[in-house]
Amino acid sequence: MASSISETNFEESKRIKRRKTGDELRDPDTIDHTRWRSESEQRIYSTKLVEAIRQVRRNSSPENKVSSGRDIRDAADGVLAVAAKGRTRWSRAILASRLRLRLAHNNMKHKKARVAKVTGSIRSKMPEKKRSIPALQRKAKVLSRLVPGCRKVSFPNLLEETTDYISALEMQVRAMAALTELLTGSPVDRLTSTSDS
Amino acid sequence: MEPNPGTLAGSISIRSDQEEAGFESLQFREEIQRLIAVPPENASSFTALLELPATQAMELLHSPHSEDGDPAPLSADSLHGISDDHKSYISSFNGNLAFPSNKALVERAAKFSVFASGENSPETSLVPSNSSANLEKVKSEPAETDSNPNSSQPLISDPTVESKTQRSAKRKEREKKGKGCTKKSKNETSKDAQKLPYVHVRARRGQATDSHSLAERARREKINARMKLLQELVPGCSKISGTALVLDEIINHVQSLQRQVEFLSMRLAAVNPGVDYNLEGLFATESGSLVESNFPSMVAPLVCPEIPFNGNRQHYQQQWHFDALQQPLWGREEASHTFINPENSLLSYDSANSASLHSNQLKMEL
């Protein structure tokens, strides 16, 4: 069957990838960034994505008729984080936040206790002082807010996380675009006109 | 005693690669971890521990000896590096971290002579210097002890120390003088030895060899390396020079990617939820291979999976796919209303990938 063949391919590529990363130093610095481009990774991701979306549909249909885009997006991000195998900080942060949300949700449902939702450090800039924060640091802060879980990460590590995050996001976009195309039968137009490498 | 480190430093100017001898690093990593994990014991057990790395070191010394002379200095290098390691531990035990550099020098010189003579039991010389084997101190201040040998002896290029340092969480830069070979004063190294372990940085010719500037340079190099990777990843960034603009581009790219994900997820949600059980067949194929499009019976209507998505071609393919998809869906009494007209837009997803997906899906449906 196709699945068995895919399984062996997947195993083999996984083995090869493992050997490659085993030879390098097991550093945070030497995470293999090209793994998000591999076929096997895409396959893994699409499988899990499908499963997750189906689950979202199943969960949401008794409550409300329509599964919101937000849920699907969270599911996709969760699956992406799982596919990252926890080697990167942003993936761990995504999974941790989902767990926290689920715990809070369960608490509210069962114990009817009001759990304060932790919304992260939203620093309200009360005094609108025009401080001359160096531009680089400002941009680094913005970037750290974009990448999940990287608020207090040093700059070089932040760059590392961003690299991995960008490759993962690109894979996610590709997979979801293919999925929508399959489902709807029409190609998806990219929002921006940036050409992929 | 004094010239010994000098000559060694002068002779061995090769810096072993950080990724050299991966298996060695593994061995030494385990060794060092074992060293650290062992609770403080008396001197005898420490020397017993020392035996093992010594024998390993001797192996290192002997195995490349069969080859030509070039690896010999390297092995001797690593050997001395290892001895440095343990010597540093010993020196720390000795002076209770009061930086007895003289004592350390003496010990080191003694050990050099020991190794030079090729004796297999360096621990005999270590025993007298071992008052209390405080391995805990080793764990807490490995940088300090490691800096000690470096202060008086600018050569450390062994994979052990490097691997050990790489295991640590935080990094701190250390100089390793190549040609300049200036012996840093003990005070300077003691200052920056308070931190956790370190990476090795070679001071280039004509550059300041100050500890701070070297640390800065190493840090900058790290950042620049990562920025280069990012620039390759983000399209259109390689032309831009300057970190700030590149960062702008990166931020824009990340934001656009996230927006795309949201957009796609909205579309996915908008697809009629009744297509659920249609997902079973569809996505078994999607998750199936992306390359195994060897369904010869199905290839006939398909033009060619490798054709890149031009406007017209895509149009045709889309129509074909469109027809194929409609039938089974109607067969399952589900009409997805989003079967809109195919657009002539380029799909940046792997063209072969999606084309084979079409063929797979067709096979599954029929």
pLDDT along chain B (366 residues), means of 10: 47 45 56 57 50 52 48 44 47 46 54 49 44 44 45 44 45 45 43 55 73 90 88 84 86 91 83 56 49 40 41 45 45 42 42 46 48
Write down the pLDDT at residue B255. 93
Which B-chain residues 275-294 have CB contacts (< 8 A) with chain A? 275-276, 279, 282-292
**Separation in Å, CA of B31 to nearest CA in chain A:** 17
**pLDDT band for position A111 (cuts 50, 70, 90):** low
Q: For A24, which of B19, B279, B361 is closest by C-beta distance?
A: B19
| Cα B264 to the center of its chain, rounded Å | 34
pLDDT in tens, A51-71: 777 777 777 766 666 667 777
ipTM for the predicted complex comes to 0.72
Structure tokens at A101: 């949300």
Q: Tell me how far apart the alpha carbons of residues B129 and B84 are, in angstroms, rounded to a whole number.
A: 14
Write down the pLDDT at residue B357. 46
- Binary contact (B290, A159; C-beta < 8 A): no
Query: What value does the mean pLDDT take over residues A128-142?
Result: 77
Name the residue with tokens 């060293």.
Answer: B35
The highest-confidence range among A116-130, A131-145, B170-184, B260-274, by mean pLDDT, is: A131-145
**Separation in Å, CA of B130 to nearest CA in chain A:** 34
Write down the pLDDT at residue A88. 82
Picking from A20, A79, A88, A194 by the largest number of B CB atoms within 10 A of its own CB, the best residue to mutate is A194
pLDDT in tens, B305-339: 444 444 444 444 444 444 444 444 444 444 444 44
What values do phi and psi take at B133, rounded to 5?
-90, 90
H-helix or E-strand containing A47? Answer: helix A39-63
Query: What value does the mean pLDDT take over residues A111-128?
Result: 55
Task: Name chain A contacts of B160, Cβ cutoff 8 Å.
Answer: none
Q: Pick the more confident residue, B239 or A37.
A: B239
Which A-chain residues 46-105 have CB contacts (< 8 A) with chain B? 46-47, 50, 53-54, 57-58, 61, 65-73, 76-77
Contact between B243 and A178 under an 8 Å Cβ cutoff? The reply is no
Write down the pLDDT at residue A42. 77
Q: Tell me how far apart the alpha carbons of residues B153 and B149 are, in angstroms, rounded to a whole number.
A: 6
Write down the pLDDT at residue B277. 52
Query: What value does the mean pLDDT take over residues A113-136?
Result: 60
- Binary contact (B339, A185; C-beta < 8 A): yes
Entry pTM: 0.46
Q: Left, alpha or beta for B343 (phi > 0: left; psi -120 to 50: alpha)? A: beta
Write down the pLDDT at residue A8. 52
Indicate the range of A158-162, A171-175, B296-300 predicted with least confidence: B296-300
Structure tokens at B106: 């003496």
- Binary contact (B259, A191; C-beta < 8 A): yes
